[in-house]
Amino acid sequence: MPTKSLSVPKVSRRTAVIAVITAAVLVAAALIGGEAYARHRIASCISSQFEKEMGSQINVGFGAKPLLVTMVDGKVSRMDVDSEGAEFGPAVDMQVHAQFHDIQMPEGSNSGSTIGSSNADVSWSNEGMTQTLKGLVSEVRSDPDSGKLTMAVLGGLGRLQITPQIVDGKVQLEVGQAQFLGIGVPEDLAEGVVNLLTESMQVYPLGLEPTALKVTDNGVEIDLKGGQAELPPPPEGSTSC
């Protein structure tokens, strides 16, 4: 008797194409989901370290390198940081945009990340300076032509002029005119203003140092640069890296 061979069902080209497309979509969805998870986890981990050091809430962004790869090698090529809170240290309304390069993430939750290099742009408005110096001055005006900050003191009856400049990698404040009804402004008042401004404009985190300063119509702009630096470990109970 002749034997009948079992017929193998043929797969149409359309079915094969659909199967390939479906598989590709599933792989892409998995990669997108994994990348989203990696970005959330790494952002949470590093943000807690940066916020602890910078003294302000921040928003973070990353460079082009997929962070799924970072989950494996522990390296972030670039991270953008923007201050989010109303205060940056003692300074009210100081806006900071920074870039950190070659970040090496910790291997364990008890370690802090390391930074290869960094740069930042800082802008501080006249209104922000006025709020920071509340109780000492009632108004701050900036003059880009002279490079001076003029502050109204003692209810607006006195004037205190300060010239900010960079000397040996630090912001220094030179006090010029300081008069109240034709006589000198009290020394403790001028000293209080200078000390608070110095703390706000001279002390920066993560080894960042001022390299350029410009007085504008709206306030002060400062450029910062930094080299290698270490971040503190994430706070206890925060997302581990």
pLDDT higher than 70, residue 220: yes
pLDDT in tens, 158-217: 888 999 999 988 899 988 877 665 566 677 788 888 888 988 888 787 888 999 999 999
Q: 20 to each of 2, 13, 23, 33, how far by Cα in Å?
A: 39, 11, 5, 20
pTM across the whole model = 0.72
Q: What are phi and psi of 38, to 5 degrees?
A: -60, -45
Beta strands in the chain (DSSP E): 58-62, 75-83, 87-88, 91-92, 94-104, 114-115, 117-125, 137-143, 148-153, 158-167, 170-180, 183-184, 209-215, 219-226, 229-230
Q: Which of 70-84, 113-127, 144-158 has the lowest mean pLDDT?
A: 70-84
Q: Which residues contact 3 (CB under 8 A, 6 or more apart)?
A: none
